[in-house]
Structure 1
Amino acid sequence: MAVGRLSRIRRNLRRAYESSTQEPPEPVVVEPPVEEPSPESHSSTMSRDDAEVPHVLRLAAAWSWRLIVVGVIGYVLLRFFGTIRIVVIPLSIALLLSALLTPAVGWLLRFRFPRSLATGLVLVAGLGAVVGTLTMVVTQFVDGLPELSQNATVGIRQIQTWLREGPLHLDDEQFNTALITGQQWLDQNTQALTTGAVSTAATVFELFTGALLVLFSTFFFLRDGRNIWRFTVRLFPVNARWRMADAGEASWQTLVAYVRATVLVAFIDAVGIGLFLVIFHVPFPFPLAALVFLGAFIPIVGATVSGAVAILVALVDSGWVTALIILGVVIAVQQVEGHILQPLIMGRAVAIHPLAVIIGIAGGVVLAGITGALVAVPLIAVLNTAVRRLTADHHRPEPPPEAVVVRSETP
């Protein structure tokens, strides 16, 4: 037993000695992975080549190609709308008329009129008012045209006398040369003027079909406008429907407010200028007031052009003193309109910067003539409201898909 125990002790000592004399194993050094040099400027760079490009240049390039894409899409849309302008323009006018006549339809509906009957009555009454006004304007113009022609002849003779005896001192030879030049210009452009007249005659059918489309579209917009909008909203993704419905309702309220305010401002302008035309016995006071009323629907530009026509008629018929008085009246009315009526009546809901108004009118004239100028400003106002509603933080959680509904039509 003692010998076995001594043998085990000896083996343990030998193992301890051998373990102490062996060299410790070298530690395993794990080298960190070699990282590729990453771009140091912006996290959006995808390669080392992008990192070598200055940040400003990369930012400008990113904006450039996005603007090119937006520009191409906008150009395609404009060409498309230009191709179908015979449909787009009547629909735009119908929307404006619907915004104007909607309160009258709502008033009849409160008296338990059927919706179709109320819409028909309002549309017929509005059409009768327009036809009656145009008939009165044409009648007064035809009755007063001979007298105006005589006064215009006298005015032209006064201008001729002023050109000869005034500061210019034009002699008969120079005056005749100017007349001959004007006659030659008319002769050279007779073909172009005739072609334009023929082209205008050829568009009578288009005007007739456009007028019918305006009437039918206005009727159905007034009667089924909310149902049409509900159908349109259903075309969007479910989670976006409530935002589209909210933006559409706000845009429609903006359009209604704009049309109401424009009609009221135009009426005040027409009454103010027409009253002074009557006081100073300027011919065609009612047609000129109607022209001022229609011109007021084109902000800034329309009032200026219609006022210039009234001043010209006053100059030809009553002399430069009356013309200067009418000029002062037009300027005063425009100042009251721009600084008092527009902010007070329209309010901040449809407030648009004057630069946006001018650019919109210019673009509308280039694209669609007078109709484009008429539609440009309300279109900008509606788009302004819609974009603000769509981009605003509503602080409202996204509803579940089954809870997204569109507001039903009120009877």
Structure 2
Amino acid sequence: MKSGLRWLLVASAALAVSLVTTVAAVAETTVTVAYWPGPESDAMQQVVNWWNANKAAQEGFRVRLLTFTRQDYFTREMTALAAASTEFDVAFTTTYIVGEMAPYLEPLDNHFERLGASDNLKVYIPSSLDSLRFNGKLYGIPTDVSNHFLYYRKDLIQRLVSDRIWQQRYREISQKYLGKALEPKQPSEWGIDDYVAASLFFTQSINPDSPTQYGTVLQLKNLIFNVMVWNDLLWGAGGKWLENGEPALTSPAAVKALDAYGIIIRNRATPPDSLNYEFAEANAAFGSGRVATMVQWSAAYHQLTDKRSFPGLSDKVALGPVPGNPHATHVHSLGLGINAASPRKEQAARFLAFLASRQAMELYAKSGGLPPVSAVLSGMANTRPEFPLVAEHVEKYGYVEHTGPETRAILQALADHLSAAWAGKVGTTEALKRANEAVHEILRKK
């Protein structure tokens, strides 16, 4: 009896030691994820919490988020990566910086293949994966996607396509300013000329019968994000930054895209202070009811249809593809990659494999994220009616311009030279010539 009791005590002690050792191992092994602060990190925290509550003990490690200030975020993160810092195991990246980060990140393809998780990547819209590839290798798992829509007042467009007097006036205005009498169309059919014509028609200084003061609102502040919006017209006119590795910013397509902005600006079809506008100011202008259309980021829809914020407008906002032939929308993704200097790359890869699952992406979306996963976005139509359209447009119209290490430098060069044209300091031809030369120099230095 005594020997049995002694055995039981020994066994219990061994079990206790084993449990303590297991708990200690989980507690001591932590994968640190650097993440962009704000709604995105709030949403990701819910995924991390779920992991720690349900997977940490089984997988042998916990996860924690590390956030920096938004100001100079990427400078702070890049400095740490370049110094082979191990303060974080998973790095936050995005389309326009992934090429710069690539030397300090682990290609993910082999990790996913080794873990038998390659099929997880199939949940993503292909263009979102392309937006985090560099030289054919995947360096980030997409967590959020950004794209553009044409926003328009559906009450005004409905009248335009049904009112004969308005239709005749539309033809007259397009003939006068564009040299051709255009017929009003549904926004889903708009090319660039249709967008310009509508912008002019709904401007009171051109058409006194217009219910809105301005036909559109352009974002013209010298910022790379405003170039991303203009870039849709470049693609919609059949152009690109580069053709066969050489700058192509003096092409007929580039001229058409920049001229479209020029016609709108010269004829005051956008608010006069648009040179200082970016996302928030454009939203405010459209939300005020003074503007009939705009090309804007998808994040604006949830704000503009909020009845408390815009009670007179919220039920009048509709979405369409960005005007062009073909329709095209810039796509960039936020995502997570593995720090090549991390001593916990195995654990980091396992967490990213979990993150690239429908389960994790559903939780992330319901917590406020915008993952590029069609099945997830389509399933949230009741609470976020724009989400299925995000998925559809990213899949049908999405393009990824460039992911090289020079991407940010090219964007800034375009911002400098295009904004000079938007401000009327140089003409279309000269602005594009200077932009082309600047991009050529950036590529030469690469």
Q: Please confirm whether the aligned pair reaches a TM-score higher than 0.5, indicating the same fold.
A: no
TM-score normalised by length of structure 1: 0.23
TM-score normalised by length of structure 2: 0.22
| Greater gyration radius | 1
Give the number of the structure whose residues are more often helix, by fraction: 1
Task: Give the structure, 1 or 2, with the largest relative contact order (CA under 8 Å, sep 6 or more).
Answer: 2
